[in-house]
Chains A and B, each alone.
Chain A
């Protein structure tokens, strides 16, 4: 059962791993126990209390509480911002420009196609795809940063094409209703 500890963040394991393991060893293996540990691991990733402790030198002082809150807010901001914390400033700029550029290109494509084909489902699917395409661009900048441009092209192109196919199916069904 000790292998379940690997589901927890490294900082959490370093702080609680030994004693957690001792409690885990004392309980009979069951589905309920496994689910409890898994839900605890998810919680530890979503709400990293250990991170808060490491940033707190004196948790009873008001100043320390404010600093702790600032550090957590900064970490959350970095994780939620475009590109995420793993990107260099240059890579973030490229990701932002690619995302904005994709939106402009797809919007322009939508206007041109609408002028030619009017409100065909295939045209409507373009504008719906334009909403999520920048997210695909940003995601691939984070997770594929060390891969080749061919990999980028295949995954991003495949992702956008897959999304367009899905949106097209939705627009066709909606038109027939």
Chain B
């Protein structure tokens, strides 16, 4: 199995936290953010407002897998940033989704 496929499997292993984890990675792709900032950003880009239980369930998994890491903070709101491993996993997942979307559009166009 290639490294790329391993990264895809890692995100897929998140179960019901798979989609929130993807949204968090997308949110952190722009810049480091803390929890509140992530929920605002995710709501803006995907129209979904993650509850704190879902947000931190996904965050804990991403951190445990080394996809994101916390930055030192002076206040109680810990910002997180994407790691190199997280960036690879995000690219792999987005490429996979893009391939599926293109295939679907091609089939719809020829139907």
Contact = CB atoms under 8 A, between A and B. Distances in A.
A24 B63 CA distance: 20
Nearest to A7: B53
Interface stretch (A13-21, A105-113, A165-173): A13-21
Closest 6 CB pairs of A and B: A40-B53, A36-B51, A49-B60, A18-B76, A36-B53, A49-B64
A60 B59 CA distance: 17
Nearest to B62: A49
A16 B54 contact: no
Contacts of A39: 53-54
Contacts of A60: 66, 85
Interface of A: 12, 16, 18-24, 26-27, 32-33, 36-41, 43-44, 47, 49-50, 52-53, 56, 59-60
26 contacts: A12-B60, A18-B77, A18-B78, A19-B34, A19-B35, A19-B78, A22-B34, A22-B77, A23-B52, A26-B36, A26-B39, A27-B51, A32-B51, A33-B51, A36-B52, A36-B54, A37-B52, A40-B51, A40-B56, A41-B53, A49-B63, A50-B60, A53-B64, A59-B65, A60-B66, A60-B85
B51 A37 contact: yes
Q: Is the interface of B mostly helix, strand, loop or mixed?
A: helix
Q: Is the interface of A mostly helix, strand, loop or mixed?
A: helix
B64 A40 contact: no
A80 B49 CA distance: 37
B76 A40 contact: no
Contacts of A21: 76
A24 B77 CA distance: 12
Interface in B7-50: 34-36, 39, 49
